Amino acid sequence: MKKENLEEIAYNAIMKLIVSNHFLPGEFLLETELTALLNLNSRTPVHHALGQLVAKGFLDKKKKKGCFIPLPTPEDAEHVFFARENIESQTARSAAMHATDEEIKELGLIIEKEADIRKSGNLVTYSSINQNFHTYVATISKNRYLQQFCEYIFWRSNSYVFLNHYRFKLKVKGEKFMDSPLQHLSIFAAIKDRNPEEAARLMLEHVRCTYNGI
């Protein structure tokens, strides 16, 4: 297998471990442990994958100690969600202006899949579906900078969502939790109707609602 493929596999696997709450904020990600966990023969792909995650801001690094997940704080949460409001409102605006009919159709399929959360009640499953929606809106915005910023800021905000995992697990079984999918549906409708101002407004309100919820 090519070196680039191994690095990509390691990168995606480490991200999945972080998002699934395998590692907690403040915890160090050790190259030797990850290499064994991912069943790799060399630490090199893991080393480069961790370097990418640090460069993109997903992880912090301390000399002689290694990479770790940044510790969340109330002030940081406020800054993260403020940034999300502004970035993601623009991705929704741009998506309404530039997405193709096929891309809007694909976004609709993601919305349909999200309905499965009513049955599963699984936080990790919800997180994956939720992330698919937000990152795909950024993708069809046709602005690679918005897409890149959205990927990082969404992940960072997700760490706060997972800190409230107990509350989310309770809500996931109740109708109040379904506010998020309903808001996604409204955003989708605005993008489908080619209404950039409405799409931006609805996305901003949706992100703000998530922040207020945690």
Listed in order, strand segments (DSSP E) in 51-201 are 60-62, 66-68
Positive or negative, the CA dihedral 25, 26, 30, 31 is positive
- pLDDT value at residue 213: 80
Stronger pLDDT, 75 or 170, i.e. the higher one = 75
Answer yes or no: is pLDDT of 199 > 90: yes
For the stretch 80-101, pLDDT in tens is: 999 999 999 999 999 999 999 9
CA 80/CA 84 separation, integer angstroms? 6
For the stretch 153-196, pLDDT in tens is: 887 787 777 655 534 443 444 444 446 778 999 999 999 999 99
Domain boundaries, the chain: 3-68, 74-213
Multiple choice CATH, 3-68, 3.40.50.1370, 3.40.50.2300, 3.50.50.60, 1.10.10.10: 1.10.10.10
- pLDDT value at residue 108: 94
Answer yes or no: is pLDDT of 150 > 50: yes
pTM above 0.75, yes or no: no
Answer yes or no: is pLDDT of 43 > 80: yes
- pLDDT value at residue 204: 97
Helix (H, G, I), strand (E, B) or coil at 61: strand
In 3D space, the residue among 153, 14, 29 whose CA is nearest the CA of residue 83 turns out to be 153
**CA 99, 105, 110 angle in degrees (round to 5)?**
105
Residue 26 phi/psi, 5-degree rounding, is: 90, -15
74-213 in CATH: which number?
A: 1.20.120.530
Whether 206 contacts 183, CB under 8 Å: yes
In 3D space, the residue among 25, 35, 23 whose CA is nearest the CA of residue 71 turns out to be 25
**CA 25, 52, 142 angle in degrees (round to 5)?**
100
